[in-house]
Structure 1
Amino acid sequence: MTLNNVLDIYDDVKDDLKFLSMSVVRTKIMLSLNEGDCKLNDLKKGLDLDSSAIKHVLNDLEERNFVFKNGDVYSLSEKGIIICTKLAELIKTLSVVKKNEKFWLKHDITSIPPEFLLRLGELERSCLVESELTDILKTFENFKELLHKSEVIKGVSPIFKPEFIEEFKTLLENDVYVELILTNKIMSKTMRSIDAGTLIKLGKLFLQNKLKIWKIKEEEVNVAFTVTDTTLSLGLFSTNGEYDLSRDLVSDDPKAIQWGNDLFDYYKGKAELFKIGL
């Protein structure tokens, strides 16, 4: 749906938007009921509010069919469940952006497809790893550490660092399964940087199905990320076109790892398998 389409339907829903956003108590009650049905006393204890305030809000929510009452138990209606699911996702997304504002501001997010931006709340339990003047290699060292704790590594990279070649060579020698999606330019640089002996080893690993490398056009990808069996590490380009080596968003939360795996599969669907000849 385009922005114009959204503006066209805005007038139809603006009252509900105002109703839900103008009251903290309404939001908290709906989120509480989203966790399960509650009695008035349960809500009172959980929200630390007096019964009269909660009852007044519950009446408003009932009137708009967000909530219904069965005996002394309150529940979300089907309408309430749908709206609350989106409300919770919006809150988590706002938290992701606010908590790591330096990571998202002035960075290019155009290579994160809209369907993945809609799921950004899945990165809620993530932290920003940031290099400092006294430790300019902090981001890179943290990245190396997470690689060496992994058994499965999948990465998308439109950037080249010679140090990565030795790191991945060591990982492959230690039976770590690796899948990489590289742009044509990075693929060429990587192949030129590998000696004949290493190339033969990579070819054998390819035949043993322990290594897969995919090629993708430069214009298809402008984001760098690695997802392993334990961690997601996400990097972005600055809006000036340079890759920001000083900041990575990192998470070991299963939801973030799944987000990373799904994004990897998205890019793999646009890439071509590269065959290493012996």
Structure 2
Amino acid sequence: MTAIETKQQLTKEYSGVKYILTSSMRAKLLLAVYELPKNLDELRKDLKKPSATILHGLKELESINLVRKANKYYELTSNGYLLTTNMIKLIENWNSLGKSEIFWDNHDLSDIPEEIIKSIYLLKDVQYVNSTTSDLSISFNEYIKLISKAEELQIVLPIYSENHYKHIIDLLKKGSLKKLELYVNEEIYNSINDNEFFKSNMLECEKVKITIVNKTSKVFLTCSDKFISLTLFFKDGHYDDSQILIGKDENAIKWGNKLLNSIKK
């Protein structure tokens, strides 16, 4: 899925909640009762609006089966809960895309499954690092600094990069990196195998497990229990080492592991 297709998908979802988003009162009412039912007094206190305004909004939501009244309390229907959940995710997705818009717009996203793209809101707190014309190594150096602190790594490695391999081997030799799982295609595996230094220090290293994946991935993904990092390919097929996303929060790690599991399969 490309960045354009991603935005088209989000736009399609937007049409389902357009009626809600065009009224701040309707949206606020749904959010107000999203966690638990509330009565009119509680809604008036939360929203700081008069009863007439709130009741008008509730009546509109009841008429389209998003809210129902039960024993003086207003609660979401099943449809209301699903729509509100999608509304929250949609807003967070747009927010996530906006924070690193250049990254998503410039790259090929075809190897990221649609269901994982739709949970991109989990990356709302990632750090976007971009190299500059005066220093082309900013992103790479940030990546090396990141992995140097990890004891275990899982890496989807879609490129043959001696520079990356040498740094990884250095971490293995120092003993700071205790376990490494690599996922590479057959061509990259053969290239590593043809290099005696890389072969002895990676393929024959007891700390390293290499899995050959059938498909050539356009995703360079690194996962640990403390962070994930992501670099991608340009739409013309060339690998881009100038831009990287780094996530250290629980949601970003969750997203990275979902993507890793999809690649493993």
State the SS of the aligned residue for 2:239. coil
Q: What is the Cα deviation at residue 255 of structure 1?
A: 2.1
- The residue aligned with 2:208 is 211
**CA–CA separation in structure 1 for the residues paired with 2:51 and 2:151:** 53
- The residue aligned with 1:183 is 185
Query: Are the structure 2 counterparts of residues 81 and 142 from structure 1 closer, same or farther at C-alpha, using a change threshold of 3 Å?
Result: same
- The residue aligned with 2:236 is 240
Report Cα offsets for 1:100-124 as digits up to 9, x if no partner. 1101113111010122112222222
TM-score of the pair, normalised by structure 2: 0.83
Question: Matches of residues 78-227 of structure 1 in structure 2 within 5 Å?
Answer: 78-173=78-173, 174=175, 175-195=177-197, 199=200, 202-205=203-206, 210-217=207-214, 219-227=215-223
| Residues 243-252 or 117-126, more deviating | 117-126
State the SS of the aligned residue for 1:132. coil
Amino acid aligned to 1:176: K
Unaligned 5+ segments in structure 1 are 4-9, 270-278
- Is the CA contact (8 Å cut-off) linking 1:151 and 1:229 kept in structure 2? no
- The residue aligned with 2:9 is none
- The residue aligned with 1:64 is 64
State the SS of the aligned residue for 1:61. helix
- Is the CA contact (8 Å cut-off) linking 1:37 and 1:76 kept in structure 2? yes
Report Cα offsets for 1:229-273 as digits up to 9, x if no partner. 11111111111221121111111121221221122122222xxxx
**CA–CA separation in structure 2 for the residues paired with 1:63 and 1:227:** 47
State the SS of the aligned residue for 2:212. strand
The two structures, once aligned, show a CA RMSD in angstroms of 2.5
| Residues 85-94 or 33-42, more deviating | 33-42
**CA–CA separation in structure 2 for the residues paired with 1:45 and 1:242:** 56
Unaligned 5+ segments in structure 2 are 6-11
Query: Are the structure 2 counterparts of residues 93 and 191 from structure 1 closer, same or farther at C-alpha, using a change threshold of 3 Å?
Result: same
Q: What is the Cα deviation at residue 134 of structure 1?
A: 3.8
Query: Are the structure 2 counterparts of residues 186 and 28 from structure 1 closer, same or farther at C-alpha, using a change threshold of 3 Å?
Result: farther
Question: Matches of residues 264-275 of structure 1 in structure 2 within 5 Å?
Answer: 264-269=260-265
- Is the CA contact (8 Å cut-off) linking 1:233 and 1:249 kept in structure 2? yes
Matched, 1:255 2:257: no
Query: Are the structure 2 counterparts of residues 165 and 204 from structure 1 closer, same or farther at C-alpha, using a change threshold of 3 Å?
Result: closer
State the SS of the aligned residue for 1:82. helix
Query: Are the structure 2 counterparts of residues 35 and 125 from structure 1 closer, same or farther at C-alpha, using a change threshold of 3 Å?
Result: farther
Query: Are the structure 2 counterparts of residues 194 and 87 from structure 1 closer, same or farther at C-alpha, using a change threshold of 3 Å?
Result: farther
- Is the CA contact (8 Å cut-off) linking 1:165 and 1:190 kept in structure 2? no
State the SS of the aligned residue for 1:195. helix
Query: Are the structure 2 counterparts of residues 135 and 201 from structure 1 closer, same or farther at C-alpha, using a change threshold of 3 Å?
Result: closer
**Percent identity over paired residues:** 29
Amino acid aligned to 1:268: K
Report Cα offsets for 1:43-100 as digits up to 9, x if no partner. 4454454443333212211222211223443221222112212222222211111221
**CA–CA separation in structure 2 for the residues paired with 1:232 and 1:46:** 38
**CA–CA separation in structure 2 for the residues paired with 1:24 and 1:49:** 12
Query: Are the structure 2 counterparts of residues 172 and 41 from structure 1 closer, same or farther at C-alpha, using a change threshold of 3 Å?
Result: farther
TM-score of the pair, normalised by structure 1: 0.80
**CA–CA separation in structure 2 for the residues paired with 1:48 and 1:237:** 49
